[in-house]
Each structure stands twice: as structure tokens, then as C-alpha cells.
Amino acid sequence: MTVSQLHLANVKRSGEILTAALAGRAPKIAIILGSGLGGLADRIEQAVTVPYAELPGFPVLTVMGHTGALVAGLLNGVPVIVLKGRKHFYETDDPYPLKTMVRTLRAAEVETLFLSNAAGSLRASIGVSQLMLITDHINFLGLNPLTGVNDESFGPRFFGMSDAWDPQLSQKIAVAAAKEKIPLHRGVYMAFRGPSFETPAEIRMAQIWGADAVGMSSVPECLIARHCGLKVVGVSCITNMGAGLSDEQLTHAHTLENAAKGAADFERLLSAALPLLAR
């Protein structure tokens, strides 16, 4: 069996396991939680938990703040699937675990993928522990998870990305933020591969290129999701200023600490937005 054939089999089997676990429920929205934002899953009612280890081909996670479990249930009355963690491309060169995770959602008839992440701000106006609606992205990872053999059963070889971060869904997020009086910035997210944080020179480059925040995730998931027909919307939780823009020392522990400070607004925003996204 080739790698591609094994991937197809994993998506099919994981989709069957997930569908069985849902027991007749059919959530149309899935949420991938970024570093320090896993607490949202604790608010799920009528929760059913499936560890990634029980889903063939799903990633094995190694980063603190990423639990590695799928939780399905109700959030503010809306059926959802919440994924507690992702595989980053600073952990691996293998795109298949992430592709399996996203494509399994599609196999389970999910229609919208909400992406969240911890990010560094490049703008003085976007402060630490605040939220930024992702309006577009710049892929500076040096890779695309869709490189290689294309399977037409998932999506076309070539596909557009002009509306990668769905404008209509993004507007619904903005409406929910305004209603809840939660400050919500808008901006372009630029993905670096990591695991090292960016240098001050790289931060200056990112600013010149038009980025408003930087991180190490979300872009690969967006690419995979758009390829297989999922709509994508997303929010960054700002955990630090970019290198050279403040005196703070950048560490992963620092990222988790500041993500926790912004988690309350993030959870409140998502809870308010879900009924709008589900319409």
C-alpha cells in the first residue's frame, strides 16, 4: 500500500469512527484550538471525547498546550467538534497527519472550520491578550502540505485562495464581538515554520510585507481545508509583541501564560458567534 493509499484508508476509517461516536449528531462546525486555548473544550455540553490515538492517521502531539483529543457536543446550543491541538510543521516533515485530521472532518460532513492560534503582534495597536480576526495570510513556511500527488476525490490540483478566510463568516465574528463588547482587531497572519521565534529583522520584513501578526500554524490547515471544500474563518490570540518590538523574553511558557489571559474573551466570542456561524 502506498502512502497515498494508506492516507485514504485512514481518512475513511477515522471518518467512520467519528461518525459512530457522534451517534446521529451532525455538527457542521469544527474548531481547532491553538496553544493555551484548550479550555474551550471544557464548556462543551453532552460531550463525547475521542482521543487522537483512536483515530487512524491522526497526529501524535508533542507540544505543551496541545492535548490531542477530539470533543463533540453542544456549545451555546450549537453542535460542534472541537479539536484540542494540532501538529505543527516544526515537529515534522510529514503532511499526512494534518491532512488526515482536516479531511476526516470533511468526511464527517463538517462544512466550516474555525481556526485559532497564539500569535505575536506586529502592530502597537494590537496588544497582548487581545484578539485578531484573520482576514488573509502569508505562507512563509517554505512548504505547502498539498505538494505531491493530488487526489481528485478531495479537491482539484489547482484552486483559488482569494477568499481563503471567508468574508461572510468573518463578518459574523465581528458582529458577535461588537455585541459582546470584545475588542477585535482585523489583520493578516503570517506563518513562519519555527520552532525558533522570529528575529527582529524577520519581524521588520513581515511588517513591510503587510503582516499584522506572526505564528507557526493555521496556514497549512487553511490550505487543506479550502482544497477539500471547507469554509474557513479564524482568530488569533495575541500572546506577545514580535521580536524587537518590546523588552519581553519570548518563550513557549510566556505564550501559554498570555494565551490564558486572552482565553476568557476568546471563549466568550466564540460562544456568541457560533449561532451566527451556524445559520
Contact 267, 40 (CB under 8 A): yes
Task: Tell me which of 35, 116, 121, 170 is the catalytic residue.
Answer: 35
E strands in the chain = 29-33, 45-51, 69-75, 78-84, 112-121, 131-140, 184-192, 213-215, 231-241
Task: Tell me which of 16, 21, 252, 267 is the catalytic residue.
Answer: 252
Task: Tell me which of 16, 21, 90, 278 is the catalytic residue.
Answer: 90
Task: Tell me which of 41, 216, 260, 272 is the catalytic residue.
Answer: 216
The question of whether 227 is a catalytic residue gets the answer: no
Q: Which long-range contacts (CB under 8 A, 24 or more apart) does 149-152 make?
A: 149/4, 151/4, 151/8
The question of whether 252 is a catalytic residue gets the answer: yes
Rounded Cα gap, residues 102 and 231, in angstroms: 12
Mapped onto helix, strand or coil, the DSSP state of residue 133 is strand
Rounded Cα gap, residues 34 and 134, in angstroms: 14
Contact 82, 40 (CB under 8 A): yes
Contact 231, 180 (CB under 8 A): no
Task: Tell me which of 7, 66, 137, 227 is the catalytic residue.
Answer: 66
The question of whether 7 is a catalytic residue gets the answer: no
Looking at the DSSP bridge assignments, the partners of residue 137 are 189
Task: Tell me which of 30, 72, 107, 118 is the catalytic residue.
Answer: 118
Sign of CA dihedral 139, 40, 171, 25: positive
Distances (CA, A) of 24 to 55, 230, 240: 18, 21, 42
Task: Tell me which of 117, 170, 240, 258 is the catalytic residue.
Answer: 240
Cell numbers of 106, please? 470533511
Task: Tell me which of 14, 116, 129, 217 is the catalytic residue.
Answer: 217
Task: Tell me which of 10, 30, 88, 241 is the catalytic residue.
Answer: 88
Q: Tell me 156's DSSP state.
A: -
The question of whether 118 is a catalytic residue gets the answer: yes
Rounded Cα gap, residues 54 and 101, in angstroms: 12
Quote the longest CA-to-CA distance of the chain: 53
The question of whether 90 is a catalytic residue gets the answer: yes
The question of whether 216 is a catalytic residue gets the answer: yes
The question of whether 91 is a catalytic residue gets the answer: yes
The question of whether 111 is a catalytic residue gets the answer: no
Cell numbers of 277, please? 456561524
Task: Tell me which of 52, 69, 91, 132 is the catalytic residue.
Answer: 91
Which positions are annotated as active-site residues? 35, 66, 88, 90-91, 118, 216-217, 240, 252
